[in-house]
Amino acid sequence: MWVQRLLGRSPGELRLCRQISARIVNESNVEVRPEKEAKPLTFPGVWLRDNCLCEECFHGSSKSRKLDWDKFDTRIRPVSLQTDELAQEVSVKWSDAHESRFSLGWLKDRSFEGRRQEEYLREFYRPATRHWAGAEFQQVAQHFSYDEVMSKDSVLMQWLQALAVYGVALLRGAPLDEGVVRRLAERVGFIRRTTYGEEFVVQAKPGAQNFAYLSLPLPLHTDLPYYEYKPSVNILHCVVQTESAGGSNMLVDGFHIADILRRDHPADFERLCRVVVDWNDIGSEDGREFHNIWRAPVICLDAAGRYTRVNHSVPQRDSHFNVPLEEVLPWYESYARFVRLAIADSHAFKTRPGDVLTFNNIRLLHGRTGYDDSEASPRYIVGAYLDWDIIYSRLRVLKKRLEPGCQ
């Protein structure tokens, strides 16, 4: 096919459009120059062979590799290359007599160049986070219209992008019914169910026995630190807001607090990243007893040292603390510093009926100031959770559709 295409053209024509070139380097790599003068891109032969897109090696409709890996030869070598200007393709003949074809676009997308990989990870895999101090809250917390999020994919994408970058975003103008959180979650994907069900209501329980109608302040915390798979994003829909002075939400960027510790108190930072804490929750819901435990540090890092999550809850930290004796007091000192810094940096604001507050539960700490809950001054918030897997997936699908070439 390749030869036929070339034969159909005059030598002059060939020279004019000759742009792609490819050569074998170090016996096992393929170097492709996408166009004249362009910087060559190097692709390991083993990786190219592993990613052959022919019908024998790749299942097109499921976009999945079906290569027989029981027999895969990691010492495979390219033996000859051909380029096709018209189709913008490079074909490779291998030492196992197999032949593969790769389009230039496909190769460029998967370039091993550091800059391209960074861009892919930042733009497409997961947007880079921007950490913020409490004083910056007004600038970073973007507002979106609930109706537009529900009706326009571009606005849905902007909301999810803001949530991924800043960990918080506010939707305005939602109807005052109990179905809002479900409709919103289903616009993205589906509600994340927990021990406490799907939708939950945050409301002081009426009755004389209940702290004389006083709703106590809720200290800063992350929800469900005692789950291995923590719900990722809180959706809190304000249906009725108290007229009393309290009832404000408090938020703080846990990643920003971790940044401060890392910079100013490295020993505390190191300890909070290393010491594994037992988080727990014991109780019963709908007649079913539960006993949840998950052990994890307060600050969790990935292999590259980036934050993946923070855990903080005073009530839901287990009295079992499975660490060496000598770790205990230093850990308490470090944790107390983390908590004090978080309290000092937290930003308080009050949502209004029709507001939907959305924030990253595994990054931000949240709480609520106390309020006077009475018949005359009720407060009624409906909540639900979404998972990051579902949100990022939706975001990628939207980006592919609305921002072609982003990937």
Q: Strand, coil or helix: what is 314?
A: coil
Closer Cβ to Zn ion, 65 or 340, answer by number? 65
Closer Cβ to Zn ion, 74 or 139, answer by number? 74
Distant-in-sequence, close-in-space partners of 368: CB < 8 Å, separation ≥ 6: 217, 218, 246, 247, 248, 249, 250
Q: Strand, coil or helix: what is 180?
A: helix
> Minimum distance from CB of 64 to Zn ion (Å)?
13
> Minimum distance from CB of 104 to Zn ion (Å)?
18
Gap between the Cα atoms of 372 and 111, Å rounded: 59
> Minimum distance from CB of 100 to Zn ion (Å)?
5
Q: In the block, which residue shows the tokens 């404000």?
A: 248
Closer Cβ to Zn ion, 55 or 289, answer by number? 55
Gap between the Cα atoms of 188 and 233, Å rounded: 12
> Minimum distance from CB of 4 to Zn ion (Å)?
21
Closer Cβ to Zn ion, 89 or 253, answer by number? 89
> Minimum distance from CB of 33 to Zn ion (Å)?
24
Closer Cβ to Zn ion, 54 or 336, answer by number? 54
> Minimum distance from CB of 26 to Zn ion (Å)?
23
Closer Cβ to Zn ion, 54 or 176, answer by number? 54
- What are the structure tokens assigned to 356, written together? 């939907």
Closer Cβ to Zn ion, 66 or 193, answer by number? 66
Closer Cβ to Zn ion, 47 or 229, answer by number? 47
Query: DSSP assignment, residue 37?
Result: T
> Minimum distance from CB of 55 to Zn ion (Å)?
8
Phi-psi label, residue 344: left if phi above 0, alpha if psi -120 to 50, beta otherwise: alpha
Q: Are 95 and 79 in contact (CB under 8 A)?
A: yes
> Minimum distance from CB of 52 to Zn ion (Å)?
3
Q: Are 25 and 32 in contact (CB under 8 A)?
A: no
Helices and strands (DSSP H and E) totals, the chain: 13, 24
Q: Strand, coil or helix: what is 184?
A: helix
What are φ and ψ of residue 224, in 5° steps?
Answer: 50, 50
Gap between the Cα atoms of 117 and 109, Å rounded: 9
Q: Are 257 and 342 in contact (CB under 8 A)?
A: yes
Closer Cβ to Zn ion, 84 or 268, answer by number? 84
Q: Strand, coil or helix: what is 14?
A: helix
- What are the structure tokens assigned to 295, written together? 């052990």
Gap between the Cα atoms of 386 and 366, Å rounded: 16
> Minimum distance from CB of 66 to Zn ion (Å)?
9
> Minimum distance from CB of 54 to Zn ion (Å)?
3
Q: How many CB atoms lie within 10 A of CB 243?
A: 13
Gap between the Cα atoms of 241 and 70, Å rounded: 62
Residues that bind Zn ion (CB under 5 A): 52, 54, 56-57
Closer Cβ to Zn ion, 54 or 201, answer by number? 54
